Structure 1
Amino acid sequence: MKAQSNDGRASASVTQAEPEGVVDARVSPLGSLENLSQREVQQLLSSKQSGVYELFRRCALAVLSSGLESDDVRAIFDRYKDFEIKLGRQAWGIKLEVKNAPASAFVDGSMIRGIKEHLFSVLRDIVYIHDAILGSDRFDLNDPVSITNAVYHILRNARILDYKGRPDLVVCWGGHSIGTAEYDYTKRVGYELGLRALSVCTGCGPGAMKGPMKGATIGHSKQRIREGRYIGMTEPGIIAAEPPNPIVNQLVIMPDIEKRLEAFVRCAHAIIVFPGGAGTAEEILYLLGILLDPANADQPLPVVFTGPPSAAEYFGQIDHFIGATLGEAARSRYKIIIGDPPQAAREVYKGIESVREYRRTKSDAYNYNWLLKIPEDFQRPFEPTHEAMARLELRRDLPAHLMAANLRRAFSGIVAGNVKENGIHAIEEHGPFELHGDKEVMTLLDDLLSAFVRQKRMKIAGEYKPCYRLVA
């Protein structure tokens, strides 16, 4: 049959085969992507040997798989192993031809508009990162200052930094695998944020990353805010397990988890943490490790841990773990609010005023926190191999910032073993990662991780098999 693309132009014939549920289509951008140069197009088309094309293909498939209730990366890639995507030119710019794409990304023969925008955001960021960041001598990615500049340029190219208003961006962290009560709570908090004209940024996936955005849309609608920002930040290693949810209206793909985390904290005017698993623990430890640096002692950044009454035990465990490993200084950098969405929103709203005044006084940008110091240990990419995980030092006698950095890496490795393709392969080939440390720290870690497993916070579905072993 002949179908119309979402921009009104005729597209190629679209065929859908059942029961596989796949679609072939030709897709044109909706203005979410500037025209690519001939060099950029050729670079992507000729880069199959370098892996750039395959990276784009896999990220594109992840976007097209949005809405599938699975965080099993290999199941998605195996199910659509015949998926293909080709880049070409047409009179009004570039086009993409997809074959054997998930049918859920289409309605009546046309690709859903939001998914199309996300697809071209992936193309934009993959091309830019490999051309202007990795393929250029402008950025020395071994130098902390240069890394911060690279993060800024990626965000600016994605137009995340176009907003020039008063500080209003609340970064929300939390698990993709959460229960109904916790998900509903994230929506209620998002609603309260929206009523206060605050924007939301998350890791872009399901669960606690979707709920606040969903709630904020209602709050914004009631306040007649038609330009609400729902920013999603992801990276190639996690996007297949956490495909962008449909509410995200600004998507950016960062090169790796460390640059994604830096983007979060430099863009944030406040941070809310909902219940989650290993990935949320990684984010918490990254944030606290930075805030513990003496150079950031005066940096105002409201941080609220919040959840429904059923999450009180969860946050009690997190709070105990932080106090026992990082000390009281770390605990002083956040507040825990249980079962009170309006109070959680009021707390961050009040704190954002302090952020605005601090940035104004220090002549720092509202849309990117240049003055925040991020130690090199938190910027350097960590590849969670078995050797690297075994080398991590987890001892009580370490300075708090080093302990935070190493714990963050440990949780990063557990996330990789749980949901990232490379990590899953490594576990299958060599067995669980081993983490070594003194008995007290290993006991604390075991208690926390065991609670995550009991509460089914590690995976969306299926029996969880630990990808780690703790050795005291």
Structure 2
Amino acid sequence: MNASVTPKGSLEILSQIEVEKLKKVGENGLYALFRQCALAILNTGSDSDNAKTIMEAYPDFEIEIIQQDRGIRLNLSQAPANAFVDGEMIASSREMLFSSMRDIVYSETERRRNRSDLSSGTGLTDYVFHLLRNAGIFRTGEDPNMIVCWGGHSISDEEYEYTKEVGHSLGLRGLDICTGCGPGAMKGPMKGATIAHAKQRHDRSRFLGLTEPGIITAEAPNPIVNELVILPDIEKRLEAFVRVGHGIIIFPGGAGTAEELLYLLGILLDPDNIELPFPLVLTGPKSAEPYFQQLHEFINDTLGFEAQQKYKIIIDDSEQVARTMAQGMQEVKEYRRRLNDAYYFNWSLKIQEEFQNPFEPTHENMASLALNTGMETHQLAANLRRVFSGIVAGNVKETGIRAIEENGPYRIHSDKSIMKPLDNLLKAFVKQRRMKLPGSEYIPCYQLVE
């Protein structure tokens, strides 16, 4: 499709410098990044999770950015047809298209102005705060009610139906949903909550999607998302989840879900966060019980018993999951009120810099990760998180896939006490087809080396 669209909902006006940045191709330009995010948004509903394949499927897709006295206009050529109805762009796609432009422009502006000290932990948190505030997601007058749902984009039909049941139970209790905004376990809870909110005549539903440029092409936003934020990298995205979320539910998933769980456990194990209430539930249908049991054993074998105490496992009981979260919201509210902390942004949560600094999963960086039981628990959690981050990159991100094609699989070194449970978990993910969408053959992008 060829089309011309104007903004609706965000970023009505750009400066001349911002427009030039968006138009610029090559080093220091933003055009390639914006094109990648825009193509992903317009390609919602794709049956592929290979970012490289999707980008190659639309080689002639182009965006012309027109600066007008009364605003901006985008002229699209060779855009995916499923983003249009009778020649008009679908409203959700139009909103998310300009949300992506807003976030890309603002991230670059903040970085260039150096308003936040990106070399310090507090500065990185300040940067995340400004990105979220600019996106307009803070609601200062509302009690804690944002439930983050993590889980795989490649899950079975039974697991997907269960995520909808949980979302429905949450929605009946007036709780909003935040996910990674893609398909599978990121879409199901939103779909279930949509019906529940309608039943309760809840007319201010919030379905917040947080993503980043490296993952959005492989996991395009689902159309239920009504607030989209694109963070600059995976570390900013993960921090945004735990800063705006009041509780987290983890559904069955693969490497990306393991990465998220390890990230959160590493933070919650910090002595500075011991007293902080943060409801965390791992849940799925009865058929997913072996998955959670193996994940539970992996946590015990690597991070220990204390880490296991940071979450509850609830199997095949969506009502109990929702009740646990609703009760958790009261505990969060009382704690935040006692500390005079904001409800809309979790300032009191301490995040060590090893969880904030961007990790680039090159072959060299993956091979140099230290994985041994002699490390401090939070540092081991941080490096295990990086292992799974690299596997996600090799599975679905364009840069990671190209690196694997050119240099072969990542080599991950660890001592035997870590390697055995890691190998067991990864083999289970592959056997259960949790690394790719159903129907796709999985070729491991990693090798474990003792």
TM class, shorter-length: over 0.9
Say which of 400, 416, 420 aligns to 2:393: 416
Is residue 345 of structure 2 the alignment partner of residue 368 of structure 1? yes
Residue identity opposite 1:242 in structure 2:
E
Is residue 354 of structure 2 the alignment partner of residue 377 of structure 1? yes
Say which of 67, 74, 92 aligns to 1:89: 67
Partner of 1:467: 445
CA distance in 2, matches of 1:153, 1:50: 22
- With 303-312 and 153-162 compared, the bigger mean Cα shift is at 153-162
Residue identity opposite 2:188 in structure 1:
G
Q: Secondary structure of 2:218's match?
A: coil
CA distance in 2, matches of 1:162, 1:37: 28
Is residue 243 of structure 2 the alignment partner of residue 243 of structure 1? no
Q: Secondary structure of 2:79's match?
A: strand
4+ runs deviating over 3 angstroms: 46-49
Partner of 2:16: 38
CA distance in 1, matches of 2:324, 2:418: 32
In structure 2, relative to structure 1, the CA distance for the partners of 1:47 and 1:463 (3 Å cut) is closer
Q: Secondary structure of 1:134's match?
A: helix
Q: Is the 8 A contact 2:146 2:245 kept in 1?
A: yes
CA distance in 2, matches of 1:196, 1:163: 20
Residue identity opposite 2:67 in structure 1:
R
How much does 1:340 deviate?
Answer: 0.3
Residue identity opposite 1:72 in structure 2:
N
Partner of 2:3: 25
Residue identity opposite 2:285 in structure 1:
P
Q: Secondary structure of 2:21's match?
A: helix
Q: Is the 8 A contact 1:151 1:259 kept in 2?
A: yes
Superposed CA deviations along residues 191-241 of structure 1, whole A, max 9, x for unmatched, are 000000000000000000000000000110000011100000000000000
- 1:290-301 alignment, distance < 5 Å: 290-301=267-278
Q: Secondary structure of 1:243's match?
A: coil
How much does 1:49 deviate?
Answer: 3.9
Q: Structure 1 vs Structure 2: percent identity of aligned residues?
A: 59
Residue identity opposite 2:73 in structure 1:
K
Q: Secondary structure of 1:233's match?
A: strand
Q: Secondary structure of 1:128's match?
A: helix
Say which of 117, 121, 128 aligns to 2:95: 117
Is residue 188 of structure 2 the alignment partner of residue 219 of structure 1? no
Superposed CA deviations along residues 273-319 of structure 1, whole A, max 9, x for unmatched, are 00000000000000000000000001100000000000000000000
TM score, norm. by length of structure 2: 0.98
CA distance in 2, matches of 1:47, 1:452: 39
CA distance in 2, matches of 1:424, 1:105: 26
Q: Is the 8 A contact 1:156 1:162 kept in 2?
A: no
Q: Is the 8 A contact 1:186 1:307 kept in 2?
A: yes
CA distance in 1, matches of 2:198, 2:448: 49
- 1:276-425 alignment, distance < 5 Å: 276-425=253-402
CA distance in 1, matches of 2:397, 2:190: 25
How much does 1:448 deviate?
Answer: 0.2
Superposed CA deviations along residues 389-442 of structure 1, whole A, max 9, x for unmatched, are 111111112111111001000000000000011111111111110111111210
Partner of 2:166: 189
Partner of 2:147: 170
CA distance in 2, matches of 1:62, 1:27: 17
- With 32-41 and 462-471 compared, the bigger mean Cα shift is at 32-41
- 1:249-268 alignment, distance < 5 Å: 249-268=226-245
Say which of 60, 80, 101 aligns to 2:79: 101
Partner of 2:428: 451
CA distance in 1, matches of 2:165, 2:140: 25
Superposed CA deviations along residues 159-214 of structure 1, whole A, max 9, x for unmatched, are 11135311100000000000100000000000000000000000000000000000
CA distance in 2, matches of 1:417, 1:134: 27
Partner of 1:134: 111
Residue identity opposite 1:287 in structure 2:
L
Q: Is the 8 A contact 2:21 2:31 kept in 1?
A: no
Residue identity opposite 1:34 in structure 2:
E
In structure 2, relative to structure 1, the CA distance for the partners of 1:161 and 1:240 (3 Å cut) is same
CA distance in 1, matches of 2:68, 2:176: 36
CA distance in 1, matches of 2:123, 2:12: 25
CA distance in 1, matches of 2:402, 2:25: 24
Q: Structure 2: give runs of 5+ residues left out of the alignment.
A: none
- Root-mean-square deviation (CA, aligned residues, Å) is 1.0
Q: Is the 8 A contact 1:106 1:112 kept in 2?
A: yes
Residue identity opposite 1:442 in structure 2:
M
Q: Is the 8 A contact 1:282 1:409 kept in 2?
A: yes
Partner of 1:206: 183
Residue identity opposite 1:390 in structure 2:
A
TM score, norm. by length of structure 1: 0.94
Q: Which has the higher contact order (CA 8 A, sep 6+)?
A: 2
Superposed CA deviations along residues 9-66 of structure 1, whole A, max 9, x for unmatched, are xxxxxxxxxxxxxx00000112332322233223322454424111111111111111
How much does 1:92 deviate?
Answer: 3.5
Q: Is the 8 A contact 1:254 1:260 kept in 2?
A: yes
How much does 1:138 deviate?
Answer: 1.0
CA distance in 2, matches of 1:89, 1:429: 40
Say which of 419, 426, 431 aligns to 2:403: 426
CA distance in 2, matches of 1:187, 1:137: 42
Q: Is the 8 A contact 1:233 1:254 kept in 2?
A: yes
Residue identity opposite 2:384 in structure 1:
L
